[in-house]
Amino acid sequence: MRTIITRAFIVSLLAGLSHAVFAHHSFSMFDQTKKVTHSGVVSEVQWTNPHVWIFIDVKADNGTVEKWGMEFTSKVHLARRNFSQDQVKIGDNVEFTVSPYANGKPGGRFYTIKLASGQYYCDVGAAQKVCDDNNK
């Protein structure tokens, strides 16, 4: 009987912990049905874990500047895919595409970025076609 209770406790504990792990990786804050592209000037780079952030100042049609936050994956994952901190610098002019925030705030999840060098860096999956088509 004691073994059954111990096993039930362990299963319950693991089930509870797995929920917390999946909650962190939710994409519900982004509108995955849309892609938004802007050009601007890199104003901040946060090369940190758990996610790398690049902030870009985008000039709106009315002349005001909006700071867009682009959320990447972890720096370890980016490094494994040959994207390093020295490829994007404050002051660089870049073009970027994101899945925007669902709430309409300026920012979103990284899809592609055209670096100041002219080279594209793309997320995994369908975004890789952009890199394949443009990095020749």
pLDDT digits (tens, 9 = 90+) for 82-98: 999 999 999 999 999 99
- Name the domain count of the chain: 1
Does the residue 112 lie in any domain? Answer: yes
94, burial (CB in 10 Å: exposed 0-12, middle 13-18, buried 19+)? buried
Does the residue 42 lie in any domain? Answer: yes
Does the residue 31 lie in any domain? Answer: no
- Binned at pLDDT 50, 70 and 90, residue 1 comes out as low
Does the residue 28 lie in any domain? Answer: no
Question: Where do the H-state alpha helices sit in the chain?
Answer: 2-24, 75-80, 128-134
Distance CA(42)–CA(31), nearest Å, equals: 23
Q: Look up the CATH number of the domain holding residue 118.
A: 2.40.50.140
Higher local confidence (pLDDT), 16 or 60: 60
- Binned at pLDDT 50, 70 and 90, residue 10 comes out as low
Does the residue 12 lie in any domain? Answer: no
Write down the pLDDT at residue 5: 73
Write down the pLDDT at residue 101: 95
Q: Which structural domain range is residue 72 located in?
A: 36-134
